[in-house]
Amino acid sequence: GAGVSQSPRYKVAKRGQDVALRCDPISGHVSLFWYQQALGQGPEFLTYFQNEAQLDKSGLPSDRFFAERPEGSVSTLKIQRTQQEDSAVYLCASSGPGLPYEQYFGPGTRLTVT
Amino acid sequence: EDQVTQSPEALRLQEGESSSLNCSYTVSGLRGLFWYRQDPGKGPEFLFTLYSAGEEKEKERLKATLTKKESFLHITAPKPEDSATYLCAVQVSLQAAGNKLTFGGGTRVLVKP
């Protein structure tokens, strides 16, 4: 079956521009996660949705970062007024209800802020 | 604070040369420990979940084990296609922690023919 898809795969933004990154989770998965991965590092948690409810946004680095999942399926991560330090790969993952808890990741969006 | 440390950072192996990767963790209450494989330019690919000390899981040339403080990923007789970054992550059982994964920095494995 189809896995997690993300678009765009690559995004170049000039400093100060707003960007929107999309995630389409595995069908039927109620949980959706966003992670940020810097070059050579492990992914770091940003935010978590259960259906349409954003239950944890403790990892969002600033109020320039905003995520939504209005209908409990597709999610969008928005970054306003991008800065160079926002350059990273943004990964989306989804998992089903209950056990097992493993998360399945999409290919990521590589954001470069110039 | 939950912490996950992986060692070594990088590992160069000859084809057929078995080795082990270490993942040590400090968490308030472990719900599960996860191993992922990540190829360049791709998202992490799920390998294993371990839930309790003493548990072992195998998949082809990979075997994961878990103790109360660390996990090992053993690679037996590796092939060049096993070259990748291997990531370890923990999920804690506290309700307030939700379901997020806390990752280590990864071990980059290169298997030379």
A85: phi then psi, degrees, rounded to nearest 5: -70, -10
Cα–Cα distance for residue pair A49/A5, rounded to 1 Å: 17
Looking at chain A, which residue has its C-alpha nearest residue B49?
A102
Q: Mind listing the pLDDT tens digit for each residue in A21-56? A: 999 999 999 999 999 999 999 999 999 999 999 999
**Which of A90, A101, A110 to probe the B interface (max B CBs under 10 A)?**
A101
Band of pLDDT at residue A101, cut at 50, 70 and 90: confident
Contact A57, A47 (CB under 8 A): yes
Round to whole Å and give the CA distance between A52 and A70.
Answer: 5
pLDDT confidence of residue A1: 57
Pairing of strands B102-103, B84-92: antiparallel
- In chain A, what percentage of residues exceed pLDDT 70? 96
Tell whether the model's pLDDT for residue B93 goes beyond 80: no
**Model confidence band, residue A97 (pLDDT cutoffs 50, 70, 90):** confident
Distances (CA, A) of B73 to A82, B19, B24, B65, B101: 38, 9, 11, 7, 18
Mean pLDDT of chain A, nearest integer: 95
For A9-60, give the DSSP string: SEEEE-TT--EEEEEEPPTT--EEEEEEE-TTS--EEEEEEETTEEEE-TT-
Do B49 and A103 lie within an 8 Å CB cutoff?
Answer: no
pLDDT at B101: 93
Of A42, A56, A104, the CB nearest to B87: A42
- pLDDT, one tens digit per residue, over B47-89 is 999 999 999 999 999 999 999 999 999 999 999 999 999 999 9
Q: How far is A83 from chain B (nearest CA, A)?
A: 22
Interface residues of A toward B, Cβ cutoff 8 Å, are: 4, 31, 33, 35, 40-45, 48, 55-56, 59, 91, 93, 95, 100-108
Check A103 against B46: CB less than 8 A apart: yes
- Is B78 in the A-facing interface, judged by CB distances under 8 Å? no
